Each structure stands twice: as C-alpha cells, then as structure tokens.
Amino acid sequence: MGVLATVDGDPIELQAYSVVEASTPLSVDDSTGQVGSFTMALPTGSDARTHLLMQGAPVRLADTRNGFTVGTLQGVGQTADTHLTALTSLSRLADLNIYYVTAAPFAGTLGAAFAYYFSLAGITSGFRIEPAIANKQVAIIGWSGELWFHLKSLAAAHMAEISLVSGSIIVRPVRQREAIPGRDTARARALPGTQLARAIEVYHYETEEIFDRLVYPIGGWSTEAPILSVNAGEVTEQTLEIEGSLTSVRQPQFRASVGPQYDAESVYTIVGDDGLPVTEAAWKAGGGYLEVSIAEDTQSLILRARGATGVGNLNKEAIKVFSIAMASNSGSNSYSSLRILGSGIAFRKTKYTIPTGVAPQRTSQEVGITVDNPFLTSIGDVYAAGNRVARRYSGRALGLSGSVTAINQIGDRGVAKLPTVREVQATFEGLTNAQVEAHPINAGKTNAQIREFWLSTMQGEYENQTFGNVGGARVWDEGSRRFYRIRNATTTPDGISFDAEDDLTNADMQARLQGLTNAQVTALFAGKTNAQVVLGGVPL
C-alpha cells in the first residue's frame, strides 16, 4: 500500500490519516449529513507554523488501496500522541456549504437542477450526475437559505445521495453499494429511543411550468377578489399572495374597461370615491401609477401604487380615495379589476396524512411531524418519502454500528485502480531504457511523483475506491436479518468504523418471498403483529 499527501501541491511526510464521511439522508425530515473531513498526521518536527499559515490551501490525500480525496486545509494541532501534528481539512463538499443563497424557480431535468444549484456556489465542473436520475423532469419553486441543506432535501426527495469520490461531486441513486460478506470485524445493534406518533404529515407541491399566465387573483377572478385602494397623493406597498414562484411578471396596463373573467394580459382600471371610473389621462396627469414586482421569496408580488391628486369627482370635489376596480351600473356593484400575468412555476400545496401504525393506546401524540419539502413535487415521491418518515415515528427503526475492512459497489474489489504492468509497458513500448528515463512521465521525478502520476490517470474510476463510497453503503446484518444504510463512517489505513440506520425495504422482503404461495407466506408470519414482522426482518 502507498499513501501520498500534498498541501498546496507540496508533498508531506505522512504518518497516519483518518477520513470522516457522512451520507446524505433518505428521510426528508432529516437534516443530518455533514460535508466530511479528513485528518493527516505528520511528525511534529515538521514545520507546523508553515502549515498553519497555509489555512485554506488545497489538500490531497491518496491511498492506493482506498483511493483519493481532496479538500482545503482548515486547522493545525497536535494529536493525542504529542509526537505528531494533525492537519485537518474539510472535503470539497464544503464548497457547497454556503449561506444566504437565493435560487430562482427551475424547470427541466433533475440533473440540470443540481447543476444549477451547484453553480450558485461557483461550481461549474468537477461533478457528475448519474444518468439513472439525471433525466427525470422536475419543476421546482424558488427558495432561499443554506445551499447544502437544500441540496440534501432535494436528494432525499428523489432517492439520491451526494458524495465526493475521486475528487468529483457525485449525485447518484441510493443503495448502489454494500459491504462485501465476510469482511466484518465487529457489530453492535440498537433500537434507538424514538418519539412515537400515530401519524405524520407531508406537503405535496403540485408544480407546473407556466408562461404569461394569470397569477393574480389566485385561481382566477371571483366575486371574493378583494378591491385594493390607495389615497390621493399617497404611495403604498401591498403584498399580493399568489400560488406560484415567478421568474418574470407583466406590468399591468391602464384600461378603460376590464370584464370579470378577463385574463389575456396584466391590466387594471381605477374608480373614484364617487363610484365612477377615472380616465387614464386624469389618473396619469395627477401622478397616479401602479406597478408590481416579484418579492424576494418569488412566491408573492409587491404592488406599489400612488394615488393621483387634483382629480375631481361627480361633485367636483377632489377625489380622496381611489379603488383598483371596475364600476358598473352607474357606480354600483364594483369589482376588482386587477389582473397580473407572470411566468415561472405554478404550484398547489396539499397536505397528506400518513399513519405510522402505532396504536392509539401507545401514544397521545397524533402527529409526529409535518414535513414541508418544496422538492416533493410528485404524489409518488410524497408517499415514498412519507413512509420513510413514518418509520422514524413508529418505534421500529433499528440502528447498527461496527467495523468492516471494505465497502464497495457490488462486485468491486475495494481497491483504487492502478494501471497494470502491461498498460505501463504499452506506454513505453519500443523505447530504450535511456528514452524511458528521459520520458516526461519519469524525467526529474521521484518514485513517489511517478506513482502519483499513474494514480491520477485512474482518478475517473471513482466506482472502485473506498473514499466517498462508504457513506450510503448498505450493510447486511444476519443477527437482525436486515440491511442498514451507513450514515457516518471513519476510514483509516486499518479499516472502517461506521454507524448505520435501518434500511429494510419492501424489495428486500419480496426477494425472500418470491416464489412462495399465499399459504407459505401466511405460515412464515403466523401469530406475528405487523411490528413484529418488521422488527424480525427478512424471514429465514
């Protein structure tokens, strides 16, 4: 095994390392899952002050058995062994952990959505969206806040996970990797204490991309649409609620008449306090105006208006209050005439209740949590996500911790790929020894630098390395007859320690029951409650 490490491109003398990674959550009510870090220990005799001054420098750690990872140097300190100095770095995923981000409404593929959100952190390359999820069509409302939190929420809503593998940010379907049987070194199971509830609630954002469609009044005009007003000479701002997340809005134009069901363009009319219409010429001559803008949250509009001055009413008195309305029947039966068209994502928000299966006598709590995830845009995703959350409030979610020596994609060897001897020889085929020594790959370089070159040629083979592929991997536990999904793990040259959460799926159960008759299935679960069936795992 060879281990190579650099800080700002300069090699360092490495004594030990540990790489900490966490998988992004599957449950949409779970905000855990950190960006990951790694610590490298070097002799204290090294110039720790120099490294301290290099805070923020790029760091690379490569292990021919576990692969490589990259990040930025964050801190320098001593380890428990005072003979060693520890360099702590955050992984490259930390570049996504930024705050005060504002994302516009988005319509397109899921892969393009991730690419857009990555660009908000200045990341436009060095990432890969797996084809299995990249082409899914989505329509997502705008949002603001912490980028990493929203990326985890998006991934959970679509059964995807975000990892850093071979220096690339990877977005991929879940459950692609598991521990290779026979490589366990330790196990411990637990049934964590959990809050019980009889149900959970999940919001469904039914979304649709729209172009120049009526967004105000909500649902189209009705007799219930409020009539807005503005005093003469006064400038007012009012917030208009809409069922949409907009990228653009059409400014309303003054019209002499607006029918109740009119929705072809953004328009308005003005009525004075005598109930009679005001002409466009009088309104504008008196300094009256009306304009709209999209609020910062993209989900409401700001109406800014100024009432005209010097406009006379029927009694030739100055009008004091103007209404954004259409008058009919000589001043009676006025109705709102404000119509606003916009483009973006229209949505309808509906709440669904999903039972946990907990009997009423076991808990007094009716609803454990209400999940409001704007990325749950299909009813299928809502129920799939809701069932995962419901398990957390059912008292049936198990946990597992332990150690293994390898966790990889099914069929992988667990070793970062290096070129074979034949591949290296092919590069230098036909050259003399002198020409090989003078070749740019070798000339003036140490053995470590040459090895680093060949390792770098295989960095695209991210499926075959350990770093970045531990978090999210599935672990089969024979004792509890179920799979677990690794949430937190630490990798060292000696092995991998992990904590995992229950990941028993219907597919796991069906794989065991395939080919059985109804009578045989009934016999397997005879005398057991649903809770006992779930806790019992895959039957023998």
Distance from C-alpha of 36 to C-alpha of 495, rounded to nearest angstrom: 17
Q: Report CA dihedral (405, 408, 411, 412) to the nearest 10 degrees.
A: -80
Give the pLDDT of residue 369.
95
Query: What value does the mean pLDDT take over residues 286-294?
Result: 97
Percent of the chain with pLDDT over 70: 88
Percent of the chain with pLDDT over 90: 61
Query: What value does the mean pLDDT take over residues 268-281?
Result: 94
More confident of the two residues 49 and 356: 356
**Confidence class for position 415, pLDDT limits 50, 70, 90:** very low
Decide if pLDDT at 517 tops 80.
Answer: yes
User: Worst-scoring range by mean pLDDT, 99-103, 157-161, 423-427?
Assistant: 423-427
**Confidence class for position 154, pLDDT limits 50, 70, 90:** very high
Give the pLDDT of residue 459.
46
Give the pLDDT of residue 185.
61
- Joined together, the tokens standing for residue 440 give 């740019």
What are the extents of the domains in the chain?
3-190+398-418+458-500, 205-345
Decide if pLDDT at 50 tops 60.
Answer: no
**Confidence class for position 410, pLDDT limits 50, 70, 90:** very low
| Closest C-alpha to 426, from 452, 464, 457 | 457
Q: What is the pTM of this model?
A: 0.84
CB–CB of 292/238 below 8 Å? no
Distance from C-alpha of 93 to C-alpha of 33, rounded to nearest angstrom: 11
Give the pLDDT of residue 411.
42
Give the pLDDT of residue 54.
77
User: What does the pLDDT look like over 194-246, one tens digit per residue?
Assistant: 689 999 999 999 999 999 999 999 999 998 899 999 999 999 999 999 999 99
User: Worst-scoring range by mean pLDDT, 114-128, 232-246, 456-470, 496-510?
Assistant: 456-470
User: Worst-scoring range by mean pLDDT, 93-97, 410-414, 480-484?
Assistant: 410-414
Distance from C-alpha of 497 to C-alpha of 488, rounded to nearest angstrom: 8
Q: Which residue has the tokens 């103007």?
A: 322
Give the Cα-Cα-Cα angle 380, 393, 200 (nearest 5 degrees).
50
Strongest mean pLDDT among 103-112, 269-278, 411-420, 430-439: 103-112
CB–CB of 491/18 below 8 Å? yes
Give the helix/strand (H/E) hosting 115.
helix 110-119
User: What does the pLDDT look like over 299-335, one tens digit per residue?
Assistant: 999 999 999 999 998 888 999 999 999 986 545 578 9
